[in-house]
């Protein structure tokens, strides 16, 4: 089965036909999806999706673009949600120095607090890092060492070099690969995919964003991951079936869904 490790089905892009799209995923070979929170509004929507759909799990956290709305009340809400059975990770959290919506010190503060929450709850983290490669790595490495190797998770929509990917996989982190690997300008990510340890590779849509070629720019959904799987198979000299099986196993290990 296809395991989509990172989707945003609570997004307004699905407001018109959410149930129809989610109801058709199984026919497209999709067996498991983790819906990832970004804003505080997405927390309850994600919880509802996990209750409505057996194949849907959730990650709760506040994305760096929205940390301006974070306070101790929302941290308490995250903490409560994290105890629910179908909430399997804290995310997406991290640093976004491309949009720079919240001041960088504010982004760092809430990133570190949400990493601490993940350690307290013994959950993996889903990391968002944009134009902040070195500082994200530095914070993760420090937290990893301070926690004596207990910090674990996935670097979502990985955009760094093969060398940076190795820094993460050496700490046991997974690398999330999606539609970008099919783009003409996705050369750096193709090199990362070729060099990665196979047991650290997971696939993700980040839908509604980042649809693979030839749907680039259109609304993405989990069934289009078959195009990402085909590209990875070509890069690794594997069959699509093998890539689908291995990425499912990896994603189950990442999120503790044995
Ligand atoms: Ni995302």
What is the 236 CA–ligand 1 centroid distance (Å)?
25
What is the 91 CA–ligand 1 centroid distance (Å)?
9
What is the 141 CA–ligand 1 centroid distance (Å)?
22
What is the 15 CA–ligand 1 centroid distance (Å)?
17
What is the 203 CA–ligand 1 centroid distance (Å)?
12
What is the 40 CA–ligand 1 centroid distance (Å)?
14
Task: Please give the chain's pLDDT, 258 residues, in tens.
Answer: 999 999 999 999 999 999 999 999 999 999 999 999 999 999 999 999 999 999 999 999 999 999 999 999 999 999 999 999 999 999 999 999 999 999 999 999 999 999 999 999 999 999 999 999 999 999 999 999 999 999 999 999 999 999 999 999 999 999 999 999 999 999 999 999 999 999 999 999 999 999 999 999 999 999 999 999 999 999 999 999 999 999 999 999 999 998
Residues with Cβ < 8 Å from 228, sequence gap 6 or more?
Answer: 177, 178, 179, 181, 182, 203, 212
What's residue 258's pLDDT? 87
What is the 134 CA–ligand 1 centroid distance (Å)?
20
Quickly count: other Cβ atoms within 10 Å of residue 54's Cβ: 9
What is the 242 CA–ligand 1 centroid distance (Å)?
26
What is the 154 CA–ligand 1 centroid distance (Å)?
12
Nearest to 65 by CA among 35, 115, 100, 104: 100
What's residue 20's pLDDT? 98
What is the 35 CA–ligand 1 centroid distance (Å)?
9
What is the 38 CA–ligand 1 centroid distance (Å)?
7
Q: What is the dihedral of CA 69, 180, 177, 48, to 10 degrees?
A: 40
What is the 205 CA–ligand 1 centroid distance (Å)?
8
């Amino acid at each position: 089965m296809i395991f989509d490790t990172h989707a945003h089905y609570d997004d307004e892009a699905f407001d018109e036909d959410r149930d129809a799209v989610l109801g058709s995923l199984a026919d497209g070979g999709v067996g498991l999806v983790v819906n990832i929170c970004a804003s505080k509004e997405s927390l309850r929507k994600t919880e509802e999706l996990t209750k409505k759909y057996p194949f849907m799990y959730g990650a709760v956290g506040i994305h760096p673009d929205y940390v301006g709305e974070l306070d101790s009340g929302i941290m308490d809400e995250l903490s409560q949600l994290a105890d629910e059975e179908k909430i399997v990770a804290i995310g997406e959290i991290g640093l976004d120095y491309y949009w720079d919506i919240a001041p960088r010190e504010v982004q760092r503060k809430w990133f570190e607090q949400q990493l601490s929450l993940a350690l307290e709850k013994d959950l993996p983290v889903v990391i968002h890092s944009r134009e902040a490669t070195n500082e994200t790595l530095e914070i993760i490495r420090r937290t990893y060492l301070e926690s004596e190797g207990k910090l674990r998770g996935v670097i979502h929509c990985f955009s760094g070099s093969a060398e940076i990917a190795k820094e993460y996989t050496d700490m046991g982190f997974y690398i999330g690969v999606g539609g970008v690997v099919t783009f003409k300008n996705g050369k750096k990510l193709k090199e990362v995919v070729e060099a990665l340890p196979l047991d650290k590779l997971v696939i993700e849509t980040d839908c509604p964003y980042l649809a693979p070629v030839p749907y680039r720019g259109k609304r993405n959904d989990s069934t289009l991951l078959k195009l990402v799987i085909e590209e990875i198979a070509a890069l690794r000299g594997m069959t699509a079936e093998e890539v689908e099986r291995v990425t499912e196993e990896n994603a189950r290990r990442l999120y503790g869904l044995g």
